C-alpha cells in the first residue's frame, strides 16, 4: 500500500484524470438514461388502454375517442413520438401531457418538493448511519453493538406504509405533536415545516437501518486490515486511526450504500407521498402511468434519472478517490 | 396483483390507524345543530379527490378530478343546476319551450355579473355553449344540439335548438354548461359568475373567496380552501386530526371510521353512484334474456349493500336513474329466487360446467368488492364466475362496452332520460350492454316529445318497465355519497353526484 501512496501522480495530472473519469461516467449514465426513456415510451405504448381513452369521460363515444387519438398523435408509432419528444428535450422542452398541459407545468411544482424531502432523508440517513455505525464498532460484539445491529435490522425490514401509519398514530392521533398529512400553501409548496417530519422519518428510518449495517460492516472489515493493526500498534491517536486509516477504506461501500438509498428513497416516495398526501414526483408518476401519458411519464423519469445520476456520479468518484488512499 | 395487494394492505393499515385513534368516541355523533340563524363568516377547508397529472382547469374540458370540478363549480355558474326535485334555475332564471319542444328559450338571471364587474350577456352564454359543443366531449355533453342551433335572442336571452323534441333539455344543461366571457382564449382562471371568486390556484389546490355581488344572494362562507387528496386514507386522517373541515365524497370505509366519533359528522347523500353488473345482450353467453333474468334473480342484494358498501347504499331494482322524481318506486322489487333462476338457466341451456370472466376495476369504492361478492352469490345458482381486475385505463380501453360481463359505475343518477341517452338507447353514446330495444327507444321518444305531464309520466313508466324486464343491466344497489365533516359545518349539500359542490348555503357554527 505504501508504495502506491508514494507513487502518487502530481496534482494537475490527477485533476485531469478525475475530470476525464467524471466525463466518461456522465456520458455512460446519459446513454443509459436515453435507453431507459425509449423503454418508457415503448412500455407505455404496450400497456392496454391509451391516453385518449383515459383522458375522456368514461362514457365518451368511439368517435370522440378516435378524434382525440388523432389529436394526441397516438395513431403514429411509438418511436416516432419518442423521437419527436426527444427533439424537444434537447431544447429543454419536456413536451405536452395527455391532458394538453406542458409537462414541465405538471411536473415542475413537484420537483422542489421531492428534492427537499429526498435531501432531508439522505442527509438524515448519512448522519445517523455514520454515527450509529461508528458507535457500534467502538466495542464490537458489546451490548451497544448488538442493540444497534438488531435495531437496524428491524428498521430495514419495515415497509414504509406500516412505519408511516404507525408514525401517524403516535405523533398525530395520540400526541397531536405533528400534522398527519401535508397541505399545500399558496406557492404550491408544503404549508409548514412540521409537515415534512413524518414523511421524512417514514422514508429515512428503513434507510438508516440499511446504511447503519453497511457502515458497521465496512468499519469492522477495516478494523481487521493489517495496516490498521499496524497503525494501532504504532500507538497513533484513535482519532487519527479512525480518520486516516479506518474511514478511507470504508468510504466506497458506504458511498455506494447511500447512492443506492437515493434510488430507494425515490421509489419509496410513491407510497409515502400517498400516505401523507405529499405533493412530490411519485404521485405525478403513478397518475401519469394510469393515464397512459407517455410524455409525462418520460418527463418524470428523465428528472428522476437526472437526480439519481447526480448522486451516483459523485458517489462513484468519491469511492475511487478513497480507494486511492486506502 | 402486487400493486393491488399493496393497496389492500395500505387500506387495512389506514383503517387500523383510524380505529386505534378512536379513543374519544361519543355516543352522540352527527351534526351539532346550533340555536339561531345561519352565521356568516369563516373559511371552509375541503378535501376533494384529485390527481396531480390529471388537473384540468378548462371549464369545458374533461374533468376527472373531483377537486377540479368543485373549484370550477364555485367559480363558474351553469345555466341550470341539479335541484332537489330535478333541475333548479342558476344563470338561466327561466326557460320556455316551443310547442314542438325543439326550441328552448332561456332567460338570464337579473343582475348576473362576472367577477370583473361586467354584466353577463347572451353573447357570453352563446360563446360558452358553442365552446363546450366544440370541445372533445361536446357531442355527448350536449346531445342533439349543434353549434348553429345555439344563438342569442336579444341581449338577455338565448335560444337552443334541439335536433329532436326534448322536454328534458334543461336537464341536459345542468352539468358543465359553465359560462365564461365572450372571446375567452385562456380559460384557466378566466373570470366567472359563480358564488366564489378565485384567489389562487396551484397544482390542483385553490382558495376562493365570497362573491358579495352574486345574483342569487351572497354565500355565507368568507372563503373556501380546496385541498386535493389522492387517497381516502390520507383524507380521512386529515379530517380526523382537524387539518380539513370536510372530507368530500371520502367513501364508505372512511364513513365507518368516522361514525360516532365526537366532533365529527358522517353525511350520506343517497343515489350517488350506481354500481351495475353489465351483461352483453347482442352476443355471447348473456344474449339470452332468460340468462340475464336468472342472474338478476340470484344475488342477495341487501347482503351486497351491507358488505360491499358497508351499508352505505340502497338496494337497486335494475333501473338506472334512481334519484329521478319519477323513478317507479311501485314496480315490484326484484329479489332472490334461486329456484326460478335455476329453471331459467336450464331452459336457456346455459353451460354451468365452465367459468365465465367477470371484469372489474378499482375505479370507485366498493366496486371490486361488489364483483367478488357477486361472483360468490352466483355460485348459489351453480354459476362459476372468475373475477378479473383491471386498472382504469385497461378497463376503459378493453372491457367497457366490449366484455360479455363486467361491473360498471355511473355517478349521475338524477334523471331517467339522462341515463337513457347515455347508456340505454340504441343510439346511446356509451351503450355498455350493446342493447337495442325498439320499444324502449319508442317509449323514450314519447317521454321527451310531450309537454303533457301525464303522458310524460306514463312513457317514463313504460321505459322503466322494459328496462326492469329485459335490459343488460343488473343494478343490485346504489352507493351513497359519504362525506365526513367537523360537526361545526352546517347545511352541507345533500344531493348526489355533482350536487355535492353546491356550497353557497353552507356555514360554520364554531
pTM: 0.88
- What value of ipTM does the predicted structure carry? 0.83
Partner B contacted by A234 (CB < 8 A)? no
User: What CATH number matches the domain at A109-324, 1.10.1750.10, 3.90.1010.10, 3.40.640.10, 1.10.3720.10?
Assistant: 1.10.3720.10
Question: Is residue A179 within 8 angstroms of chain B, CB to CB?
Answer: yes
Least confident of A309-318, B186-195, B274-283: A309-318
**Which grid cell is A189?**
409548496
Contact A106 B52 (CB under 8 A): yes
Q: What are the sequence ranges of the domains in chain A? A: 12-107, 109-324
The closest alpha carbon to A212, from A127, A136, A129, A124, belongs to A129
Using the beta-carbon criterion (under 8 Å), do B393 and A277 form an inter-chain contact? no
Q: How far is A265 from chain B (nearest CA, A)?
A: 18
Q: Report CB contact under 8 Å: A287, B54.
A: yes
Contact across the interface for B53 and A168, Cβ inside 8 Å: no
**How many CB pairs lie under 8 A apart between chains A and B?**
176
- Taking contacts as CB-CB distances below 8 angstroms, the residues of chain A near B203 are 109-110, 184, 188, 279
Residue B435: pLDDT over 90: yes
* Phi, psi values for residue B163, rounded to 5°: -65, -20
Asked whether the predicted pLDDT for residue B85 surpasses 50, the reply is: yes
The pLDDT tens digits for B335-353 are 999 999 999 999 999 999 9
Strands B205-210 and B196-202: antiparallel
Rounded percentage of chain B residues whose pLDDT exceeds 70 = 93
Q: What is the reported pLDDT for B313?
A: 96
DSSP lists the bridge partners of residue B227 as B47
pLDDT given for residue A9 in this prediction: 60
Quote the CA–CA distance of A273 and A283 in Å, as a whole number: 7
Write out residues in chain A with pLDDT < 70, as ranges.
1-12, 14, 187-188, 324-326
pLDDT of B328 reads 96
Which grid coordinates are listed for B351?
A: 353451460
What are chain B's domains? 2-31+77-192 (3.90.76.10), 35-55+194-269+482-510 (3.40.190.10), 276-475 (3.10.105.10)
Q: In the prediction, which pLDDT does B23 show? A: 41
Partners of residue B21 in chain A, C-beta under 8 Å:
169, 173-174
Confidence band, pLDDT 50/70/90 cuts, at residue B35: low
Q: What residues of chain A lie within 8 A of the CB of B362, using their CB?
A: none
Contact B400 A58 (CB under 8 A): yes
**pLDDT range class, residue B24, cuts 50, 70, 90:** very low
Q: How far is B463 from B315, CA to CA, in rounded Å?
A: 20
Which of A62, A287, A288, A295 should one mutate to test binding to chain B, selecting the residue with the greatest count of B CBs within 10 A?
A: A287
A284–B400 CB contact, under 8 Å:
no
Nearest to A37 by CA among A314, A297, A308, A323: A297
Contacts of B238 in chain A (CB under 8 A): 180-181, 183, 277
Interface residue A54 vs chain B (CB under 8 A): yes
pLDDT of residue B10: 47
A-proximal residues of B, 122-151, CB under 8 Å: 136-137, 139-140
| Helix segments in B309-449, DSSP class H | 338-348, 367-378, 392-394, 416-419, 438-448
For residue B56, what is the nearest residue in chain A, using CA coordinates?
A99
Chain B segment 72-91 residues within 8 A of A by beta carbon are none
Amino acid at each position: 500500500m505504501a508504495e502506491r501512496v508514494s507513487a502518487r501522480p502530481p496534482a494537475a495530472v490527477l485533476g485531469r484524470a478525475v475530470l476525464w473519469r467524471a466525463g466518461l461516467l456522465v456520458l455512460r449514465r446519459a446513454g443509459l438514461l436515453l435507453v431507459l426513456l425509449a423503454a418508457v415510451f415503448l412500455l407505455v405504448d404496450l400497456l392496454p388502454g391509451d391516453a385518449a381513452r383515459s383522458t375522456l369521460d368514461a362514457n365518451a363515444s368511439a368517435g370522440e375517442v378516435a378524434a382525440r387519438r388523432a389529436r394526441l398523435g397516438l395513431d403514429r408509432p411509438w418511436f416516432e413520438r419518442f423521437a419527436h419528444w426527444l427533439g424537444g428535450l434537447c431544447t429543454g422542452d419536456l413536451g405536452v401531457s395527455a391532458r394538453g398541459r406542458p409537462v414541465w407545468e405538471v411536473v415542475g411544482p413537484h420537483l422542489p418538493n421531492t428534492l427537499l424531502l429526498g435531501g432531508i432523508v439522505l442527509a438524515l440517513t448519512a448522519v445517523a448511519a455514520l454515527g450509529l455505525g461508528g458507535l457500534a464498532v467502538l466495542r464490537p460484539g458489546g451490548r451497544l453493538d448488538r442493540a444497534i445491529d438488531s435495531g437496524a435490522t428491524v428498521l430495514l425490514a419495515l415497509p414504509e406504509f406500516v412505519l408511516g401509519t404507525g408514525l401517524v398514530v403516535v405523533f398525530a392521533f395520540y400526541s397531536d405533536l405533528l400534522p398527519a398529512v401535508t397541505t399545500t400553501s399558496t406557492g404550491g409548496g408544503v404549508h409548514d415545516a412540521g409537515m415534512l417530519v413524518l414523511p421524512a422519518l417514514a422514508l429515512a428510518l428503513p434507510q438508516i437501518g440499511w446504511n447503519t449495517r453497511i457502515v458497521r460492516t465496512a468499519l469492522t472489515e477495516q478494523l481487521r486490515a493489517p495496516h490498521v493493526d499496524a497503525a494501532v500498534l504504532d500507538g497513533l491517536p484513535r482519532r487519527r486511526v479512525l480518520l486516516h486509516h479506518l474511514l478511507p477504506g470504508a468510504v466506497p461501500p458506504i458511498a455506494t450504500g447511500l447512492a443506492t438509498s437515493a434510488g430507494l428513497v425515490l421509489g419509496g416516495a410513491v407510497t409515502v407521498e400517498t400516505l401523507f398526501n405529499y405533493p412530490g414526483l411519485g404521485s405525478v408518476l403513478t397518475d401519469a402511468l394510469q393515464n397512459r401519458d407517455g410524455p409525462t411519464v418520460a418527463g418524470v423519469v428523465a428528472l428522476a434519472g437526472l437526480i439519481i445520476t447526480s448522486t451516483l456520479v459523485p458517489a462513484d468518484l468519491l469511492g475511487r478517490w478513497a480507494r486511492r488512499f486506502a | 396483483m402486487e400493486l393491488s395487494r399493496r393497496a389492500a394492505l395500505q387500506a387495512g393499515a389506514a383503517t387500523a390507524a383510524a380505529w386505534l385513534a378512536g379513543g374519544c368516541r361519543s355516543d352522540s355523533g352527527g351534526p351539532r345543530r346550533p340555536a339561531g340563524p345561519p352565521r356568516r363568516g369563516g373559511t371552509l377547508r375541503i378535501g376533494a379527490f384529485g390527481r396531480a397529472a390529471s388537473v384540468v382547469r378548462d371549464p369545458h374540458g374533461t374533468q376527472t378530478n373531483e377537486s377540479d370540478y368543485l373549484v370550477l363549480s364555485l367559480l363558474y355558474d351553469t345555466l341550470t343546476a341539479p335541484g332537489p326535485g330535478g333541475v333548479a334555475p342558476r344563470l338561466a332564471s327561466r326557460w320556455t319551450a316551443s310547442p314542438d319542444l325543439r326550441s328552448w328559450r332561456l332567460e338570464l338571471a337579473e343582475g348576473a355579473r362576472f367577477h370583473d364587474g361586467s354584466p353577463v350577456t347572451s353573447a357570453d352564454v352563446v360563446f360558452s355553449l358553442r365552446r363546450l359543443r366544440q370541445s372533445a366531449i361536446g357531442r355527448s355533453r350536449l346531445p342533439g344540439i349543434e353549434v348553429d342551433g345555439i344563438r342569442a335572442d336579444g341581449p338577455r336571452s338565448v335560444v337552443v335548438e334541439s335536433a329532436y323534441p326534448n322536454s328534458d333539455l334543461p336537464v341536459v344543461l345542468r352539468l358543465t354548461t359553465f359560462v365564461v366571457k365572450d372571446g375567452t382564449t385562456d380559460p384557466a382562471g378566466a373570470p366567472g359568475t359563480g358564488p366564489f371568486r378565485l384567489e389562487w390556484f396551484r397544482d390542483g389546490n385553490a382558495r376562493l373567496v365570497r362573491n358579495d355581488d352574486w345574483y342569487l344572494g351572497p354565500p355565507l362562507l368568507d372563503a373556501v380552501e380546496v385541498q386535493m387528496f389522492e387517497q381516502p386514507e390520507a383524507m380521512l386522517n386529515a379530517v380526523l386530526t382537524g387539518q380539513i373541515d370536510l372530507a368530500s365524497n371520502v367513501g364508505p370505509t372512511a364513513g365507518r371510521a368516522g361514525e360516532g366519533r365526537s366532533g365529527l359528522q358522517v353525511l350520506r347523500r343517497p343515489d350517488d353512484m350506481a354500481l351495475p353488473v353489465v351483461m352483453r345482450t347482442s352476443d355471447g353467453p348473456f344474449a339470452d334474456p332468460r340468462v340475464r333474468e336468472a342472474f338478476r334473480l340470484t344475488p342477495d342484494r341487501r347482503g351486497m349493500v351491507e358488505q360491499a358498501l358497508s351499508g352505505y347504499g340502497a338496494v337497486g331494482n335494475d333501473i338506472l336513474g334512481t334519484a329521478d322524481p319519477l323513478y317507479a318506486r311501485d314496480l315490484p322489487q326484484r329479489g332472490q329466487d334461486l329456484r326460478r333462476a335455476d329453471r331459467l338457466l336450464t331452459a336457456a341451456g346455459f353451460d354451468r360446467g365452465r367459468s365465465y370472466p367477470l371484469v372489474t376495476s378499482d375505479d370507485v369504492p366498493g366496486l371490486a368488492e361488489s364483483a367478488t361478492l357477486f361472483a360468490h352469490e352466483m355460485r348459489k345458482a351453480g354459476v362459476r364466475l372468475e373475477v378479473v381486475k383491471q386498472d382504469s385505463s385497461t378497463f376503459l380501453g378493453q372491457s367497457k362496452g366490449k366484455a360479455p360481463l363486467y361491473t360498471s359505475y355511473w355517478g349521475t343518477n338524477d334523471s331517467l332520460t339522462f341515463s337513457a341517452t347515455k347508456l340505454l338507447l340504441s343510439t346511446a353514446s356509451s351503450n355498455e350492454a350493446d342493447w337495442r330495444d325498439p320499444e324502449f327507444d319508442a317509449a323514450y321518444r314519447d317521454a321527451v316529445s310531450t309537454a303533457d305531464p301525464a303522458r310524460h309520466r306514463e312513457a317514463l313508466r313504460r321505459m322503466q318497465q322494459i328496462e326492469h324486464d329485459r335490459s343488460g343491466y343488473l343494478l343490485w344497489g346504489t352507493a351513497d355519497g359519504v362525506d365526513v365533516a367537523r360537526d361545526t359545518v352546517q347545511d352541507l349539500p345533500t344531493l348526489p353526484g355533482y350536487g355535492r359542490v353546491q356550497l353557497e348555503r353552507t356555514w360554520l357554527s364554531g
